């Protein structure tokens, strides 16, 4: 379980924190899509659209010398110091660097080539005195005999790194139709889920998709001298590579998309985890860079995101690492990230409503959980006659619900307390003391455990509960038991006294009497715990979050953090 974080979701309803390692594992598909949509072409550079980008850069339009290299998918480094809040480091691997250079010919080699070219021109009946035609035939002859006239050698592969800024972008429905049918289908599917759950047809304008993307139009690798370029690469070749890649990025107006979120733009009903707004946050992990996270921070329903400076402050509150490095190295497990649901959202929307309805009181929010204080039960009667008498019975009860950190358990505890008093005295002689009295006081405690478990699956995710077999009520603890005066005469014929005795004693022990008086509260507590907490209406449509690799995220192994937020391990499944 990824439950070691000390972060607390107080400003957001949810957080989907994806590790740098998981994001980079999906970059090949995102890179492939970006390259396929590339509009970078000019007469000096050719780009082959494959799973990688293969570029050929001739020295001039007519010469056969030049350079060819391949670009591997980019990688992101989220652990960058001294940068702006949304900046990340992009690393571009350059491999298979091949340089073609024209050989320096000896006088004899040059004369032999000229004769061969002249022979070709004669065969085609070309004018031998036309210098331009001669140069054209000479260049073609060199290309046809590359081994004789060109040197071919390979350079050491290297990487180039630069900073880029992550941004959110919301495409219009029209541009979405042109850009991605897959994303359009995701929006339609999400709409169908919301409409089905709410039994209300929301219009298309309610649903939207946003991208997390990077713009590369301001990348300048020519003046960037911070790159670790091997010393054996000549400056002219290094410059040519950097210049061509800068052109590739700057001329390609297509955003590099690596994350997508489908959400519902309404203050009305949305699914359990249906986002109505979101932002993002980059958090580096100094202990293990691959455990650095890119987080989607969202709100549900009527909630609103913090604005401007308050949003930055809210992000900075999440100062702890979301993911333990052991969770992604395979030492303890191998996860793609973490899903966190605010404890207030989870408990106040999915745990407490049933109890509130059953117990008929509102919960009181405490530091670690919630407390219900039931309306006290009182039974009070008195009689004024020759013998004045009065009895008072009072039963109070409370119940607490709280998450148990580092487990998948919800702890429930409570207490029912009873006091019962009976007094009688002869009218006018009260100063002489009571003729009889009864004093009873005692309590019972109880506890129960609810365990959360996930249903698994890739299309739908649900949380179910498993209540401990028995709600454990303790034996009654008698704190006070006094029966004095005429009250000891249990066959007292006085009708009022008999009623009091029937309620308070009735030939039973004090334990039995108190237990009987508390029976109604016990049954109410049992119903609240067993009937109203056994089912949680909680589901997550995984297509709300679309990975760059076009697979799906699955959520499993629920547990509670130290702050009480509900956490899940996130596993990425390829399509």
Helix (H, G, I), strand (E, B) or coil at 229: coil
Domain carrying residue 351:
345-533
pLDDT at residue number 40: 57
Assess if residue 471 is contained within a domain. yes
Q: Residue 278 pairs with which residues in a beta bridge?
A: 298
Residue 196 tokens, joined: 């089905």
pLDDT at residue number 43: 39
**Of the residues 308, 325, 341, which one is the last residue of a structural domain?**
341
Assess if residue 559 is contained within a domain. no
Assess if residue 496 is contained within a domain. yes
Helix (H, G, I), strand (E, B) or coil at 387: strand
Same domain, 181 and 119: no
Assess if residue 564 is contained within a domain. no
CA distances from 502 to 395, 491, 494, 507, 522 (A): 17, 11, 12, 8, 21
Same domain, 333 and 350: no
Same domain, 336 and 350: no
The three-state DSSP-derived secondary structure of 308-354 is HHHHHHHHHHCCCCCCCHHHCCCCCCCCCEEEEECHHHHHHHHHHHH
pLDDT at residue number 329: 66
Assess if residue 539 is contained within a domain. no
Same domain, 135 and 237: no
Same domain, 330 and 414: no
pLDDT at residue number 493: 47
pLDDT digit of tens for each residue in the chain (575 aa)? 444 688 999 999 999 999 998 889 888 888 887 877 776 554 344 445 444 567 777 665 446 677 888 888 899 999 888 777 788 999 989 888 888 887 888 888 888 888 888 888 888 888 888 888 888 888 788 878 877 878 888 888 888 888 888 988 887 666 666 566 667 777 777 777 666 666 667 677 777 788 888 888 788 888 765 567 888 888 888 888 888 888 878 877 778 888 888 877 665 655 556 677 888 998 888 888 888 899 999 888 767 889 888 999 999 899 898 887 777 765 555 688 888 999 988 888 888 888 888 888 899 999 889 999 988 888 777 766 666 777 788 889 999 999 999 998 999 899 999 888 888 776 655 556 667 778 888 899 988 888 887 765 445 556 666 665 567 888 888 888 887 776 555 544 454 455 555 555 554 666 777 778 778 888 888 777 776 665 555 555 545 777 776 677 888 888 999 999 999 888 887 76
pLDDT at residue number 272: 58
Same domain, 138 and 165: no
Instruction: Identify the sign of the CA torsion 194, 198, 204, 209.
Output: negative
Same domain, 56 and 174: yes
CB 64 within 8 A of CB 74: no
CB 171 within 8 A of CB 179: yes
Assess if residue 574 is contained within a domain. no
β pairing state of 472-473 and 409-426:
unpaired
Residues whose CB is less than 8 angstroms from the CB of residue 501 and which lie 6 or more positions away in sequence, other chains included = 487, 490, 492
Same domain, 195 and 88: yes
Q: Write the DSSP assignment of 445-489 as a string of letters.
A: EEEEEEEEEE---SSEEEEEEEE-SS-EEPPPEEEEEEEEEGGG-
Q: Look up tokens 């590339």; give the residue.
A: 38
pLDDT at residue number 510: 66
**Separation CA 307–CA 59 (nearest Å):** 52
Nearest to 293 by CA among 332, 344, 259: 259
Assess if residue 477 is contained within a domain. yes
Assess if residue 521 is contained within a domain. yes
Helix (H) or strand (E) holding 519: helix 519-533
Same domain, 34 and 134: no
Same domain, 398 and 519: yes
Domain total of the chain: 3
Same domain, 133 and 183: no
Same domain, 421 and 354: yes
């Amino acid at each position: 379980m990824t439950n070691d974080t000390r972060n607390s979701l107080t400003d957001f309803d949810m957080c989907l924190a994806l590790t740098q390692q998981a994001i980079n594992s999906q970059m090949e598909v995102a890179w492939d899509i970006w390259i396929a949509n590339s509009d970078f072409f000019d007469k000096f550079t050719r780009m082959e659209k494959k799973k990688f980008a293969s570029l050929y850069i001739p020295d001039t339009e007519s010469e056969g010398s030049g350079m060819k290299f391949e670009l591997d998918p980019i990688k992101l480094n989220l652990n960058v110091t001294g940068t702006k809040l949304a900046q990340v480091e992009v690393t571009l691997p350059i491999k298979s660097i091949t340089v073609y250079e024209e050989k320096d010919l000896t006088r004899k080699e040059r004369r032999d080539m000229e004769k061969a070219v002249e022979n070709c021109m004669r065969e085609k009946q070309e004018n031998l005195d036309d210098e331009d035609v001669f140069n054209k035939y000479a260049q073609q002859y060199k290309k046809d005999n590359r081994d004789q006239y060109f040197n071919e050698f390979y350079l050491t592969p290297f990487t180039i790194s630069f900073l880029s800024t992550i941004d959110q972008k919301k495409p219009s429905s029209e541009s979405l139709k042109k850009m991605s049918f897959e994303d359009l289908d995701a929006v339609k599917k999400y709409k169908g889920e919301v409409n089905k759950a709410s039994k209300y047809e929301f219009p298309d304008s309610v649903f939207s998709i946003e991208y997390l993307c990077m713009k590369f139009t301001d990348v300048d690798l020519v003046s960037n001298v911070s790159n670790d370029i091997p010393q054996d690469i000549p400056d002219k070749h290094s410059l040519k590579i950097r210049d061509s890649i800068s052109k590739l990025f700057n001329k390609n107006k297509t955003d590099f998309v690596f994350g997508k979120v489908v959400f519902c733009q309404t203050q009305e009903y949305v699914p359990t985890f249906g986002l109505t707004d979101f932002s993002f946050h980059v958090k580096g992990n100094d202990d293990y860079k691959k455990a650095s996270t890119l987080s989607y921070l969202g709100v549900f329903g009527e909630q609103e995101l913090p604005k401007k400076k308050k949003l930055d402050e809210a992000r900075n509150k999440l100062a702890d690492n979301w993911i333990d490095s052991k969770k992604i190295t395979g030492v303890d497990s191998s996860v793609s990230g973490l899903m966190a649901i605010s404890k207030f959202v989870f408990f106040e929307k999915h745990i407490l409503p049933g109890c509130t309805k059953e117990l008929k009181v509102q919960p009181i929010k405490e530091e670690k959980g919630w407390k219900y204080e039931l309306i006290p039960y009182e039974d009070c009667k008195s009689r004024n006659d020759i013998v004045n008498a009065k009895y008072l019975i009072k039963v109070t009860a409370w119940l607490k619900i709280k998450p148990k950190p580092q487990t998948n358990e919800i702890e429930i505890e409570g207490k029912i307390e009873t006091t019962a008093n009976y007094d009688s005295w002869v009218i006018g002689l009260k100063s002489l003391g009571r003729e009889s009295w009864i004093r009873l006081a005692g309590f019972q405690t109880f506890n129960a455990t609810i365990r959360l478990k996930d249903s698994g699956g890739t299309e739908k995710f649900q949380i179910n509960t498993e209540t401990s077999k028995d709600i454990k009520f303790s034996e009654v603890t008698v704190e006070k038991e006094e029966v004095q005066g005429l009250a000891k005469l249990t066959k007292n014929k006085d009708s009022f006294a008999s009623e009091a005795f029937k309620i308070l004693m009735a030939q039973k022990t004090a334990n039995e009497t108190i237990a009987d008086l508390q029976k109604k509260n016990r049954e109410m507590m049992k119903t609240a715990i067993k009937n109203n907490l056994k089912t949680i209406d909680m589901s997550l449509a995984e297509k709300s979050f679309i990975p760059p690799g076009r697979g799906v995220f699955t959520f499993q192994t629920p547990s509670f953090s130290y702050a009480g937020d509900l956490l899940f391990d996130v596993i990425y499944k390829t399509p």
